[in-house]
Amino acid sequence: MGDDGLSNQATFNNNTGGDIQIDRATSGGLYNLATFTNAASITIGAIAPVGWVGLLNQATFTNNTGGVIQIDRSTNYGLYSFGNPTPGTQIANVHQRGQHYNRG
C-alpha cells in the first residue's frame, strides 16, 4: 500500500452492498478531503496496521443508515476529524488506544 489506503479528493459514494477493506497503509487508512458518503461496509486495519490514524476527515463525511465502519490497528487515533462527520449508524473503533478527535 502507500501512505494512505484511500485518499478522497472529490465525491465518493460507498453504496449499499459496497465493501472497502484497507490494510498496510503507512500514514492513514482513509483520508477524506471532499464529500464521502458511506451506506455499506468500511473495514480499516483488520489484518495489518494503517499508520497514525484510521479515518482522517477534513471535509464532509456521512455514514448513512446501514453504513458500518470498523477501525483497528491505528497508532494514535481511530477517527480524527477537522470537518463535519455525520454518523448515521455504527462506527466501531477497537484499536489499541481508542482515541477520537473532532474539531468540526
- Domain range summary for the chain, segments of one domain joined by +: 4-102
CA distance 34 to 85: 12
CA distance 49 to 72: 8
C-alpha torsion angle, residues 35, 9, 103, 26 (rounded to 10): 130
Q: Which residues contact 37 (CB under 8 A, 6 or more apart)?
A: 12, 13, 14, 62, 64
User: Is this structure's pTM higher than 0.95?
Assistant: no
pLDDT beyond 50 at 94: no
**The predicted structure's pLDDT at residue 80:** 87
pLDDT beyond 80 at 93: no
Give 16-73 pLDDT, tens digit per residue: 999 999 999 999 999 999 999 999 999 999 999 999 999 999 998 888 888 889 999 9
